[in-house]
Amino acid sequence: MKPRLQSAFTLIEMLVVISIIAILAAFAVPALTSALTRGQLTGTMNNARQVFLAGQQMALDGTANSDPSLGWPGDVNPAVGTVSAYVDLLVKNNYLQAGDVQKLFTAPSAAVTVTGGTTSGSPPAYTPIAFGGGSVPALKIYRMQDANPGSTLFCVTNNWVYDNDLSATANPYSTKGFVVIRKGGDASVFKRAQAQHTTASPTGTVALFQSLVGRLPGDLDGAAGTEATGTTGNTLSFP
């Protein structure tokens, strides 16, 4: 009589298989999380680039038509002091669609509510763009001017304060990375180690930092300024 072959796994074999799966999962999850974050950062970079292209076209039209009401954030006259006022200018002059603003300024853990950008009533009255109270925008816009060099910052994600470390409590993306759009039109995603110029970081000196990451409006070569909001600041206030 032939002995019956056993086809079932033993308990030890099952535990070994489960252990191998757990080890592989431990390696895979961080990689998947990193890839997801990278994809989200790229999506936000594309949104920021759409805002930049709208601003660039408005500035070009203002120059071509000698219209002071159209220009870069730091050039328009009358001056704009807030993100909502600048975005409203883009919408009112048809460089952005009102329905796109909420998507462009939203990212993980940074959601905004947007109203306005519409015309209604008789006679028609325009309702300006407004960001809802308590909103946390994904993007921060600088008072960039036409006279600034191409390395000057146009906008960045709101988790980064110029030439400072990223904060674990800042949104969007906390310390996972930040996005930069510069006047020259180049858009980049940077890691936390590149958030400030230090000898320990990849950016090294101030001059190299300005070249790779960007500079604030009005900064001189080799001198990193300080980010500031308000009527005389270099950053548009929110909302």
What is the predicted pLDDT for the residue at 8? Answer: 64
Assigned domain for 135 exists:
yes
What is the predicted pLDDT for the residue at 39? Answer: 86
Tens of pLDDT, residues 167-185: 999 999 999 999 999 999 9
As for how many domains the chain has, the answer is 1
Assigned domain for 20 exists:
no
| Residue (of 156, 153, 154, 163) closest to 139 by Cα position | 156
Within 13 Å, how many C-alpha atoms sit on residue 123's CB side?
A: 0
What is the predicted pLDDT for the residue at 28? Answer: 58
Structure tokens at 92: 């009112």
Assigned domain for 199 exists:
yes
Say which amino acid occupies 77.
Answer: N
CA angle 194/107/172 to nearest 5° reads: 40
Tens of pLDDT, residues 75-123: 999 999 999 999 999 999 999 999 999 999 999 889 899 999 998 888 8
Spatial separation of the C-alpha atoms in residues 166 and 172, rounded to whole Å: 11
Q: Give the chain's residues under pLDDT 70.
A: 1-9, 13, 24-34
Assigned domain for 194 exists:
yes
Assigned domain for 226 exists:
no
What is the predicted pLDDT for the residue at 3? Answer: 56
Spatial separation of the C-alpha atoms in residues 142 and 81, rounded to whole Å: 10
Q: Are 175 and 192 in contact (CB under 8 A)?
A: yes
Structure tokens at 145: 């001017």
Assigned domain for 8 exists:
no
Assigned domain for 17 exists:
no
What is the predicted pLDDT for the residue at 85? Answer: 95
CB neighbours of residue 39 within 10 Å: 10
Assigned domain for 180 exists:
yes
Structural domain range at position 149: 48-212
Pairing of strands 187-190, 178-182: antiparallel
Handedness of CA 62, 98, 136, 175 (dihedral sign): negative
CB neighbours of residue 96 within 10 Å: 24
| Residue (of 151, 110, 115) closest to 130 by Cα position | 115
Say which amino acid occupies 224.
Answer: A
Structure tokens at 154: 């146009």
What is the predicted pLDDT for the residue at 231? Answer: 74
What is the predicted pLDDT for the residue at 7? Answer: 59
DSSP letters for 29-63: HHHHHHHHHHHHHHHHHHHHHHHHHHHHHHHHHHH
